[in-house]
Amino acid sequence: MNHTLNITYGSPSGNLVSTLSATGDTNIELNLTIAPSASAAETDISITSANLQAFYIEATAAMTIVCKSGTGGSGTIEATFTLLANIPQFWFTGNGVNPFGGNVGQLLVTSTAGGTLNIRALLND
């Protein structure tokens, strides 16, 4: 299966358009409702860092997402994403450094306003 990200950058002299694409066999799609005043709300996820091909994360409100290697609040922090409302962060293989230092088993989400957290990931297991 493929994941693609189409990017258009507009300026007075015209648009720059590019497409990032990745192929894999394991698709992860999360659409989470985060309650207002959430503090380290736990969600399990399984991402093997070495197999990650693409990752996209966005939220409808400001949120901080701590990605840990364990579950139940334990484990090492493998990444932290500080999201602003409606501004995505993404990574595709060949496009910089993998955002995760190791495997991820849990997300801890904190948000004052609450909202929707959307995650897409593609792995090649």
Q: What value does the mean pLDDT take over residues 13-38?
A: 97
Q: What is the pTM of this model?
A: 0.94
Q: pLDDT digit string (tens) for 31-70?
A: 999 999 999 999 999 999 999 999 999 999 999 999 999 8
3-state secondary structure the chain: CEEEEEEEEEECCEEEEEEEEEECCEEEEEEEEECCCEEEEEEEEEECHHHEEEEEEEECCCEEEEEECCCCCCCCEEEEEEECCCCCEEEECCCCCCCCCCCEEEEEEEECCCEEEEEEEEECC
| Ordered domains of the chain (ranges, CATH) | 24-123 (2.60.120)
- Per-residue model confidence as pLDDT tens digits over 88-111: 999 999 999 999 999 999 999 999
pLDDT higher than 90, residue 73? no
